[in-house]
Structure 1
Amino acid sequence: MENSRLLRLLVPTLVGIAFLLLWELLVRANGIPEFVLPAPSRIGASLVTNFASLMASLWVTLSITILAFILAAIGGVGLAILFSQSRLVEMALFPYAIILQVTPVVSIAPLILIWVGFDRVQLALLLLAWIVAFFPILSNTTLGLRSADHNLRDLLRLYGASRWQILTELQLPSALPYILAGMKISGGLALIGAVVAEFVAGSGTSTGLAWRIIEAGNRLDIPKMFAALLLLSALGISIFFGLSWVEHLLLRRWHESAVRREE
């Protein structure tokens, strides 16, 4: 098992190193201009040179992403629980949740900025990131709550269990894998929503990584643009693996998906 884990870490690392070496060689051999495609060495140098400003922007984007994700998790799980307790509420509100999901965030971002006010851009970015991240948690949690074993539910009712007891003792534990799967999707979408919102805001009042990318592009500082993209990719990967680790911790002792992973 240890060898298998080591192999899973080693293979992607070697592939990544080989890709970077090939990229470096092709750029140098073909004399590709830096403003078209910089070599990885130049991107690394730009990352070191602009480290302070890029890390400050990373923190802005990360803070918006985390807060939007937390609000999406609370709102999505809470509303899904409400749906599970009232079919009428679900029929009344679920279509509007779908509308939020299918409406492109780029199309509503200018309206959000106008309604919130250009002096509160951070709040507008948070709302836009929340809109993108909200639906996967709501949808997955609703499905998970519905998927609880009906025979066990009937048995609990037969023994006089209350609706709260059925929810906490049966439905929520059964829905936990669905909730965590929705959160893994939502974490990445929260980051995407924050970045897209920063692109649309594009006023310079936001200092997240998306604004650094716009700024670098306008100045044709392509290595800095790639450095910001690298940090965004690293942030997205970190969010995914962090949520995967939480999922593993919560499911490893009882759920089939996590148990099989350890074999």
Structure 2
Amino acid sequence: MKPHVARILYPSIVAIVLLTLWQGIVTGFKLPPYLVPSPILMLQTLVTDWQALGLALLFTLKITLFSFLTAVVVGVLISFVFVQSRLVETALFPYAVLLQVTPIVAVAPLIIIWVKNPTASLVICATLVALFPIISNTTLGLRSIDPDLQSYFAMNRANRLQMLFRLRVPSALPYFFGGLRISSGLALIGAVVAEFVAGTGGSSTGLAYQILFAGYQLNIPRMFAALLLISLTGVALFVLMAWLSKLALGSWHASELSRD
């Protein structure tokens, strides 16, 4: 069996088994929908409530993508600065770690108060969550260069920009794309958590608000449908990042050429 077929087939079989088991338990034990809805009821709710859930998905996806792109741009620029000087990296890297270990739920209320625009405040909160993997992975990749190649570039009197873009950046690409896979999921998590903290209402609301609203109404099938959309969005982002990694590295890097 071809590897790309196996990567789709095997997880699909596991998903079918788990969904069948879930449906069987709910039906066999006659669990009420307000406790655990069946997969069929969840999918039915997803169809019937698609107008509200679809708009909420678009809003959450917008926050996620804006946050992810901002984290990528800011993270790469910070990594470029770090790699130019060990002194700068030593002085500032602990503050990047501080962003990672500080719970977003602790700082999100302050950001929402300081930034009057609701969308901008949500983007900032989600960006803080997604930023560290880009900084950490890209900086590590920019540092992980072949010493012999570095000596060769120095022997040919390459300047800092030539060293950066012709040696360090190609060496850092596998680490960078690894950071993208992590950061894309964290951007989604940050967007959802920020929406929970903001608790915004009205028409411009995301999936987190739909979950909260469904919880208040004890509409558990709708809550599960919103959770399903969040999970599928996270999987889609990971697959997209993996595809971009394959597209950029597939023809030359060992991580993509390996057949194991």
Smaller-chain TM-score bracket: over 0.9
The Cα shift of 1:122 comes to 1.2
Deviation for aligned residue 1:14: 1.7
Match of 1:253 among 247, 251, 256: 251
2:218 aligned residue: 220
Partner AA of 1:250 in structure 2: A
Alignment of 1:123-202 (within 5 A): 123-202=120-199
For these two proteins, the number of residue pairs brought into alignment is 259
**CA separation in 2, counterparts of 1:101 and 1:21?**
38
The residue correspondences of 1:15-26 to structure 2 (distance < 5 A) are 15-26=14-25
The SS at the match of 1:154 is helix
After TM superposition, give the deviation of residue 20 of structure 1 in Å.
Answer: 1.2
2:14 and 2:186 map into 1 onto residues whose CA distance is: 26
Q: Which residue of 2 aligns with 1:106?
A: 105
**SS at 2:55's partner residue?**
helix
Structure 2 distance, partners of 1:235, 1:26, is 27
- Give the ranges of 4+ consecutive aligned residues of structure 1 lying more than 6 Å apart after TM superposition: none
Cα distance in 2 between the residues matched to 1:17 and 1:223:
19
Identify the residue that residue 71 of structure 1 maps to in structure 2.
Answer: 70
Amino acid corresponding to residue 7 of structure 1 in structure 2 = A
User: What is the TM-score when the length of structure 2 is the normalising length?
Assistant: 0.96
**What's the Cα RMSD here?**
1.3
Question: Does residue 233 of structure 1 match 2:231?
Answer: yes
SS at match of 1:33: coil
Structure 1: runs of 5+ lacking an equivalent: none
Structure 2, unaligned runs of 5 or more: none
Task: Give the % identical residues.
Answer: 49
Aligned match of 2:9: 10
- Residues of 2 paired with 1:184 and 1:61: CA distance? 18
Tell me the secondary structure at the aligned position of residue 258 of structure 2: helix
| Equivalence map 1:18-57=2 (5 Å) | 18-57=17-56
**TM-score, length-normalised on structure 1?**
0.95
Q: Give the AA of the match of 1:89.
A: V
Deviation at 1:227, TM superposition (A): 0.4
